Chains A and B, each alone.
Chain A
Amino acid sequence: MSLEVRVRHRQGGFLLDAGFRSTGGLTVLFGRSGSGKTTLANAIAGLNRPGEGVIRLGDTVLLDSARDIFLPAHRRRIGYVFQDARLFPHLSVRHNLAYGTWFTRNRETVAELDQAIDLLGIGHLLDRRPSGLSGGERQRVAIGRALMASPRLLLMDEPLASLDEARKAEILPFIERLRDEVGIPIVYVSHAVAEVARLATTVVVLADGRVVRSGPARQVMASLDIFQGQERAEAGALLDTRLAGHEPAYALSVLQAPAGRLLVPLLDRPVGTPVRLRIRARDVTLAVCQPDGLSAQNILPGRITAIGRTDGPVVDVQLDCAGDLLIAQVTRRAIATLPLEVGRPVFAIVKSISFADGSDMGPPA
């Protein structure tokens, strides 16, 4: 189901003027706090009413300011998982989950109660009150509650932001299963690079109420200008690979990507499994000729496609390695002395690889 959004909404001194399009999968609205992500999500849910714009979900017009159409939130069938769960304190977990079904008549259900309970692992919580749940449990119940209302689209506003790392790791697999198994389109608000890397099909980058970049996750994450300040340390490209084989003698696994073969510590998964990797820009070194006698084993040939601009010492360089995009952080001095310029063939020496979920594989071979 396609989602088309184009809105202009003024809220105090802030102007949101943004639009994007999604044809399914998981779309991440990415940006720092105050960039307008939540305002945009609220516009899709119908919790605010943009002064101008069009929002369409499949064949349904949710908002069309020119034709004075505004479908109220309760008629949109858009599930919303809030950052703070917002479970009803006066209802048990069971009744929280059932709440949305009280208002859905003869609609095809996305998830049966048993199925949702199973998917989210909340069967043992049904008779509890929300006040007695942990943060992670609350968030899972909130996801189940949204699903039970048979939504046509699921909005998730930083559902993991208030949780610690362990609780995040507990919920991320559920969101992946929603994306892959339930097949419901998801719009996911986040400012965490690790979540984007792991979950996103499409990324929409917002800054100051405007969309600065949008497209497939791999392309957007490999663009040079979306990370600023502290986030630059997290900048890095995504690589969708396939597990090609194992080298048990060295405790290594071989991953195949269009860019080439990569060696990583032995993965306990069957050959053929898709594996999404994140390669941080700071972990990539560039060489202008084929390196020889290096201990590093992961060396990918490519061509420079763009060089970032900065006054600081470190510059981002984007490479095209047989269709896969990588970013490398090198010194401005190296750019000038090697010299590195757009179009020049180079070799990327990858010092460290992360799984897309943020868990580190450490320096591989």
Chain B
Amino acid sequence: MDAWLTPQEWTAVLLSLRVATVATLWSLPFGLLVAMLLARGRFPGRALLDTLVHLPLVLPPVVTGYLLLLTFGRRAPVGGFLAEQFGIVFAFRWTGAVLACAIMAFPLMVRAIRLSIEAVDRRLEQAAGTLGAHPAWVFLTVTLPLILPGIVAGMILSFAKALGEFGATITFVSNIPGETQTLPSAIYTLTQIPDGEAGAMRLVLVAVAISMAALIGSELLARRVQRRIGA
């Protein structure tokens, strides 16, 4: 593939894979927690949390990107604090692309996991309790295995969304080759320059291949999990 893609295109592909993977893995624990809260929690502000989580799904991505810039920019309140205290910088870095992708994909991940949590027969958890399992153990030995298909589905959706994220990413961290130029940004750039069509087409083919591989992989994984839990 090295000979086929230009080094710049190759960089964009690798960066996209890295951004999507890191975004998916980082959002997983938060996604699980929020899905659990929304599916099971009874607390004031639940509706607000629900709305907040779903906001990136309905807002124009550019708006989300701009809001991220206002919050996590170098001189913005949160971004400034993180940069000073922990040395974590998002603005115009690949980490910013991770943040943008994670937030854009978050509602999809939460929805998938939440649905699977709501489908869990809570009477099984009660039964586990009567067998002496502490609630934390019940979660690990009963709830978690039963929602595994939902978690897998959520991660695949999140990965696919992160791979294709364009609007929020380009608004928040721009389009810097080698740092924030992901696959969609690279395709966009190539379509804007003369003689870019060939490169754009190559990247489009790569994007199609990755997406199909992810889809097939998720299908195989889901089937294996489904067999294991015997449902």
A interface, CB within 8 angstroms of B = 45-47, 72-80, 82, 84, 86, 88-90, 99-100, 102-104, 129-132, 145-146, 149
Beyond contacts A90-B229, A99-B141: 20 other A-B pairs, Cβ-Cβ < 8 A, are A74-B132, A74-B133, A74-B138, A78-B130, A79-B130, A80-B130, A82-B123, A86-B124, A86-B127, A88-B127, A89-B230, A90-B146, A90-B230, A90-B231, A99-B131, A103-B132, A103-B133, A103-B134, A130-B230, A145-B131
On whether the beta carbons of A99 and B123 are closer than 8 Å, the reply is: no
Residue of B121, B123, B129, B137 contacting most chain A CB atoms (<10 Å): B129
Specify which chain B residues have a CB less than 8 angstroms from the CB of A102 in the assembled complex: 133, 137, 141
On whether the beta carbons of B123 and A149 are closer than 8 Å, the reply is: no
On whether the beta carbons of A47 and B130 are closer than 8 Å, the reply is: yes
Specify which chain B residues have a CB less than 8 angstroms from the CB of A72 in the assembled complex: 129
B interface, CB within 8 angstroms of A = 121, 123-124, 126-135, 137-138, 141-142, 145-146, 228-231
Q: Known interface pairs A86-B123, A86-B124, A90-B145. Does A74 touch B130 (Cβ–Cβ under 8 Å)? A: yes
Specify which chain A residues have a CB less than 8 angstroms from the CB of B229 in the assembled complex: 89-90
**Roughly how many angstroms separate A90 CA and B149 CA in the complex, as a whole number?**
12
Residue of A75, A77, A86, A132 contacting most chain B CB atoms (<10 Å): A86
Specify which chain A residues have a CB less than 8 angstroms from the CB of B137 in the assembled complex: 102-103
Specify which chain A residues have a CB less than 8 angstroms from the CB of B134 in the assembled complex: 74, 103
Q: Can you list 30 A-B contacts (CB < 8 A)?
A: A72-B129, A74-B129, A74-B130, A74-B131, A74-B132, A74-B133, A74-B135, A74-B138, A75-B132, A77-B132, A79-B130, A80-B127, A84-B123, A86-B121, A86-B124, A88-B127, A88-B142, A89-B146, A89-B230, A90-B142, A90-B145, A102-B137, A102-B141, A103-B134, A104-B132, A131-B230, A132-B230, A145-B131, A146-B131, A149-B130
Q: In the complex, how many angstroms separate the beta carbon of B123 from the nearest chain A beta carbon?
A: 6
Q: In the complex, how many angstroms separate the beta carbon of B179 from the nearest chain A beta carbon?
A: 44
**Roughly how many angstroms separate A338 CA and B76 CA in the complex, as a whole number?**
101
**Roughly how many angstroms separate A100 CA and B135 CA in the complex, as a whole number?**
14
